[in-house]
Chain A
Amino acid sequence: MVMKESYDWILNRLPYTEPFLYVEEISYVNDKGAEGSYRFSPDAHFYKGHFKNNPVTPGVLLTECCAQIGLVCLGIHLLGKETKLENITIGMSSSQMEFLLPVFPGECVRVVSELVYYRFQKLKCEVKMYDEDDKLVCKGVLAGMIDTGNE
């Protein structure tokens, strides 16, 4: 039996917390990409305002979810286990997204990212988000700077 690799060390290093943590589970992370999932809680506060009487998950949060799973989890893996959490500084530098389907309250989404490059502290990925029926919800290219600051 193959033991499923634990990615808790990555989850523990994510520099986010509620109400802005958009990673629930990581299915895999390797040098080429990452996959993980997140369920948008039907009680999330933003559904009250987006939109009036018609709750739909905002595109910026789908982008954020793609970035946290696809870019940041992958970035932490690439930096390696030895890196101390307090030394990690990150920032999104560009995002180019296309949105194809709405995500409603309570839906679980799956994000798959593929590394484009990681050089000179810049991490660029192609990301895709799927809904529970494996239909493509959004896709795009995200990039960010991720640094350990101890050089």
Chain B
Amino acid sequence: MLKEEKYQKLKDIIKIYLPEDVAVTDIEQDSHFMNHLNINSANLVDIVLDVEDAFDIRLENEDMEKMQTVNDAMAIIDTKLAAK
């Protein structure tokens, strides 16, 4: 899967959980989920669960802790896909 394709897939998941005052166009690679995109911890869990389904991977607690920004999420997805 191409990087751009992965990024798009991730963005499609994130946008479902954006609060009303944040637009899809606000999503940048270095966006912080909680600080920039105003996503709360409950919705961050939903994003992780959707990411697991979309990429057929499984994240652990330590991955969740590392997943602060969109870039972090991309890196975790890459690591998990490579380990498959």
Contact = CB atoms under 8 A, between A and B. Distances in A.
B42 A145 contact: yes
B42 A143 contact: yes
Interface residues of A, number: 10
A45 interface: no
Contacts of B46: 122
A121 interface: yes
B28 to A, nearest CB: 24
A30 interface: no
B37 to A, nearest CB: 17
A96 interface: no
A52 interface: no
B61 interface: yes
Contacts of A145: 41-42
Contact of B64 (A93, A117, A120): A120
Contacts of B77: none
Nearest to B59: A120
Interface string A90-122: 000110000000000000000000000101111
- Size category of the B interface is 10 to 19
B40 A93 contact: yes
Contacts of A120: 45, 48, 61, 64
A144 B43 CA distance: 10
B64 to A, nearest CB: 5
A120 B42 CA distance: 9
A94 B42 contact: yes
Contacts of B64: 120
A94 B46 CA distance: 12
B49 interface: yes
B59 to A, nearest CB: 8
Contacts of B48: 119-120
B41 A119 contact: no
* Residue in B40, B42, B49 whose Cβ sees the most chain A Cβ within 10 Å: B42
17 contacts: A93-B42, A94-B42, A117-B49, A119-B45, A119-B48, A119-B49, A120-B45, A120-B48, A120-B61, A120-B64, A121-B41, A121-B45, A122-B41, A122-B45, A143-B42, A144-B42, A145-B42
Closest 10 CB pairs of A and B: A93-B42, A122-B45, A120-B45, A120-B64, A145-B42, A122-B42, A145-B41, A120-B48, A143-B42, A119-B45
